[in-house]
């Protein structure tokens, strides 16, 4: 059945069939690649709001979402008076879903039939009858067609009765989640035979959150792991060294072997170590030709590698065994015993200028002394360290909240959030890589989106749980954000949309801004009340 529109008491309604044809357009139309609008203009002042921003993905244009395989109905809050009561039976189902079984009595069906006939009377041009003149019912039905009349009557019944059925629900229905699951031909048959109607509707409702233990968020104990790389003093010294090295010239080493501070060009290969030579295998991921190895980055390679090649000279080859650590990035190499073969192709040393005040301007534009350069770099990295600490704390808190809540997530909510995240990801790809229409169509196809939802199910679920937990805390603790703050952020967001020449929905922007600021407020409250322990790994 095709989309049919109608107006009841001035409210536009639509009903689509139970089994519509597949959507002809993909999730993101190649002709309109910016149907998703990321809130790039929301630049939070702290890591709190920055962290929470990932919980509230950019809004997805409803027109870009593939139609549900079952029917959907636009539901209005306005209800006209029915001549008789309908009977609604509510049944709770898994995944925060409710099934409504709706029985419509003959009195309501007859009233809808009269309304439909009155509308046909106004619009129909029946041969032999002047416009506006009353046409006998039998002639009008014959002119329009009995099936068309029945079809329009069933649609009228759905439009008028569904708002009444929805108002009787005990839960809060989620937007755009109402689906009529009874097949339209079946409803037509029931009406034409019995002059009554029975249909079923599936509705996703707002999930209920359960804390374990109750209000456990008030006594959070969080261990935050920090990378040693974020140490401000160490990072600023490394940055100064990097800038100093960039001012030096490379000279070829001719009379000695490799020393700390040198730069070597190496050909590297590796094989597994096994007593049975037949089982010895090459390790492709460990092979590299012309690898530029800075000896001051020895902590970034396998432990023992630097020590094993110290003293190697140009043209020389060294062979030695090493074991990949259990913390190695590539899982398949963890704990593997490997035999390395390294050939030194080129060997250089750095001819560095003396590190003193004379280099200040070259090390840092506007710098006048070496001391000033060091102080500016240290301050910069202290700010970065603080931001990283806050970010790590926020992540740890959100992870802890996720473990403390139980929630039955509606499938429609999961899919909506997943599509929004995928849309944001696709926009990031578009921003960094120029995609042609074919590539964009492939990435935005239903298959690609479904694969993303499947592969990222755990991550999406956790993000939803975190978001719901944060929203629940905001209400429980009666936290507040000022109207002025919301207005300012909304204006900033809209200005950004305008600069990027993107369409936007101001109401949706406002809702998204409020969610982000509320989340930031909750994380701030949690950090103040939580017991946080920082450890360096």
pLDDT score of 26? 22
Q: What is the largest CA-CA distance in the chain?
A: 113
Token output for 105: 């009595």
Domain residue extents for the chain? 4-18+63-205, 223-248+368-405, 249-351, 406-536
How does residue 79 score in pLDDT terms, banded at 50, 70 and 90? Answer: low
Report whether 376 contacts 364 (CB < 8 A). yes
In a 13 Å sphere around the CA of 184, the CA atoms on its Cβ side amount to 25
* 8 Å CB contact between 425 and 464: no
Quick one: average pLDDT of 125-137?
Answer: 77
Q: What is the CATH number of domain 4-18+63-205?
A: 3.30.70.1050
Rounded to whole angstroms, the Cα distance separating 289 from 51 reads 41
Is the separation of the CB atoms in 64 and 27 below 8 Å?
A: yes
Mean pLDDT throughout 502-512? 87
Burial of 229 (0-12, 13-18, 19+ CB in 10 A): exposed
Secondary structure letter of residue 22 according to DSSP:
P
Pairing of strands 221-226, 531-536: parallel
Is it the case that residue 57 has pLDDT exceeding 90? no
Hey, is 425 helix, strand or coil?
A: helix
CB 159 within 8 A of CB 8: yes
The pair of three-digit structure tokens given for residue 164, joined into one six-digit string: 């009444």
- Could you report the per-residue pLDDT of 187-238, keeping only the tens digit for each? 999 999 999 999 999 999 988 899 999 988 998 999 998 877 778 898 999 9
Q: What is the pLDDT of residue 30?
A: 26
d(CA 112, CA 408) in angstroms, rounded, equals 38
- For residues 360 and 369, give the distance between their C-alpha atoms in angstroms, rounded to a whole number: 5
What tens digit of pLDDT does each residue of 348-369 get? 999 999 999 999 999 999 999 9
Q: What's the pLDDT tens digit per position in 10-29?
A: 222 333 222 223 322 222 22
**pLDDT tens per residue, range 141-163:** 888 889 999 999 999 999 999 99
pLDDT of amino acid 528: 92
What is the architecture, at CATH level 2, of domain 249-351?
Roll (3.10)
Please compute the mean of the pLDDT values over residues 44-49 and round it to a whole number.
31
The string of pLDDT tens digits covering residues 469-498 is 999 999 999 999 999 999 999 999 999 888
pLDDT-derived band at 132, boundaries 50, 70, 90: low
Kindly tell me if the per-residue pLDDT of 31 is higher than 70. Answer: no
H or E stretch covering 391:
helix 370-404
Average pLDDT over residues 91-108: 94
Task: Say if CB 228 and CB 536 are below 8 A apart.
Answer: yes
**Please, which pLDDT band fits residue 126 given cuts at 50, 70 and 90?**
confident
Give percent above pLDDT 70 in the chain.
84
Q: Do domains 4-18+63-205 and 249-351 have the same CATH topology?
A: no
Q: What is the average pLDDT score of the chain?
A: 82
Give the C-alpha distances (Å, rounded to integers) separating 522 from 406, 473, 515: 19, 7, 11
Distance in angstroms between the alpha carbons of the first and the last residue of the chain: 61
Distance CA 187, CA 196 (A): 9
Write phi, then psi, for 401 (nearest 5 degrees): -60, -40
| Both structure tokens of 391 | 């970010």
Using alpha carbons, select from 268, 396, 274, 408 the residue that is nearest to residue 343: 268
| pLDDT classification of 251: cutoffs 50, 70, 90 | very high
In contact, 84 and 197? CB cutoff 8 Å: no
What gap in Å lies between CA 497 and CA 501, rounded to an integer?
Answer: 6
Q: What residue has token string 């649609």?
A: 155
Helices and strands (H, E) in the chain, number of each type: 15, 15
Average pLDDT over residues 107-115: 95
């Amino acid at each position: 059945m095709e989309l049919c529109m109608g107006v009841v008491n001035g409210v536009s309604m639509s009903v689509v069939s139970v089994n519509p044809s597949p959507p002809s357009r993909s999730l993101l139309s190649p002709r309109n690649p910016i149907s998703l609008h990321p809130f790039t203009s929301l630049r939070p002042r702290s890591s709190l709001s920055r962290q929470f921003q990932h919980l509230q993905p950019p809004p997805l244009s409803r027109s870009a979402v593939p139609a549900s395989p079952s029917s959907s109905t636009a539901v209005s809050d306005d209800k006209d008076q029915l001549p008789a009561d309908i009977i609604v039976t509510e049944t709770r189902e898994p995944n925060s879903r409710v099934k409504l079984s709706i029985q419509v009595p003959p009195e309501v069906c007859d009233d809808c039939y009269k309304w439909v006939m009155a509308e046909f009377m106004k619009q129909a041009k029946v041969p032999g009858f002047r416009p506006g003149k009353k046409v006998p019912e039998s002639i009008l039905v014959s002119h329009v067609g009995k099936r068309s009349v029945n079809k329009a009557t069933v649609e009228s019944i759905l439009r008028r009765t569904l708002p009444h059925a929805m108002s009787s629900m005990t839960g809060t229905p989620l937007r755009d989640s109402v689906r009529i699951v009874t097949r339209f031909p079946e409803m037509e048959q029931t009406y034409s035979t019995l002059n009554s109607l029975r249909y079923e509707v599936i509705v996703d409702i707002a999930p209920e959150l359960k804390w374990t233990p109750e209000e456990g968020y008030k006594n959070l104990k969080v261990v935050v792991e920090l990378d040693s790389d974020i140490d401000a003093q160490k990072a600023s010294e490394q940055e100064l060294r990097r800038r100093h090295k960039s001012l030096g010239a490379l000279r070829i080493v001719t009379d000695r072997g490799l020393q700390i501070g040198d730069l070597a060009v190496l050909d590297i290969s590796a094989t597994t170590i096994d007593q049975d030579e037949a089982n010895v295998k090459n390790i492709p991921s460990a092979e590299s030709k012309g690898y530029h190895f800075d000896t001051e980055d020895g902590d970034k390679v396998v432990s023992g590698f630097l020590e094993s090649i110290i003293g190697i000279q140009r043209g020389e080859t060294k062979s030695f065994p090493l074991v990949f650590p259990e913390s190695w990035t590539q899982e398949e190499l963890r704990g593997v015993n490997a035999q390395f073969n390294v050939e030194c192709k080129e060997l250089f040393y750095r001819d560095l200028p003396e590190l003193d005040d004379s280099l200040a301007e070259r090390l840092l534009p506007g710098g006048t002394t070496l001391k000033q350069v060091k102080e500016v770099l240290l301050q910069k990295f202290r700010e970065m360290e603080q931001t990283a600490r806050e970010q790590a704390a926020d992540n740890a808190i959100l992870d802890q909240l996720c473990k403390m809540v139980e929630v039955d997530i509606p499938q429609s909510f999961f899919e909506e959030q997943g599509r929004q995240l995928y849309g944001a990801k696709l926009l990031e790809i578009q921003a960094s890589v120029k995609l042609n229409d074919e590539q964009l169509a492939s990435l935005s196809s239903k298959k690609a989106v479904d694969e993303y939802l499947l592969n990222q199910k755990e991550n999406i679920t956790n993000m939803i749980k975190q978001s719901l937990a944060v929203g629940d805390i905001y209400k429980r603790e009666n936290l507040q954000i000022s109207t002025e703050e919301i207005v300012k952020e909304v204006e900033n967001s809209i200005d950004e949309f305008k600069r990027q020449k993107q369409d936007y929905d101001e109401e949706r922007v406002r809702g998204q801004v409020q969610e982000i600021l509320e989340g930031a407020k909750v994380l701030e409250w949690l950090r103040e009340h939580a017991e946080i322990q920082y450890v360096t790994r």
